[in-house]
Amino acid sequence: MINFKTGIAALIVSALPALALAQATPTTPNIDKREARQEQRIQQGAKSGELTPREAARLEKGQARVQRMETKAKSDGTVTAQERKRIQREQSQQSKRIARQKHDRQR
């Protein structure tokens, strides 16, 4: 019985740091999903030839800029509504760039 209680106590103590880390990292699920979809659009465009290698590289650079904005917003432990709005606005601009480059008839 003592070993069981000791084991449970050890399990709880070992789980506390992971729980604290999970709570400290702010989540942005909608931003992450949109970012993943945009990445897929770029990859698909490069694979199909709708995007030239130069266009794809430029769009990837834009995606990296959005990712840096998200990382910076998360750095203090909270993503404010204003930061979220700024990131979403940049993602919208990036989405328009992707669409424009995919449909500009360059091969």
**10 part of a folded domain:** no
Range of the domain at 38: 27-102
Q: What does the DSSP assignment read for 46-80?
A: HHHTSS-HHHHHHHHHHHHHHHHHHHHHHTTS---
**18 part of a folded domain:** no
Total tally of structural domains belonging to the chain: 1
The residue that leads in pLDDT, 101 or 10, is 101
> Is residue 34 within 8 Å of residue 90, measured between CB atoms?
no
At 32-49, the pLDDT tens digits run 999 999 999 999 999 999
At 60-97, the pLDDT tens digits run 999 999 999 999 999 999 999 999 999 999 999 999 99
Task: Enter the tokens of residue 32.
Answer: 């992450």
The residue that leads in pLDDT, 33 or 20, is 33
**82 part of a folded domain:** yes
Buried b (16+ CB within 10 A) or exposed e, 23-41: eeebebeebeebbeebeeb
**63 part of a folded domain:** yes
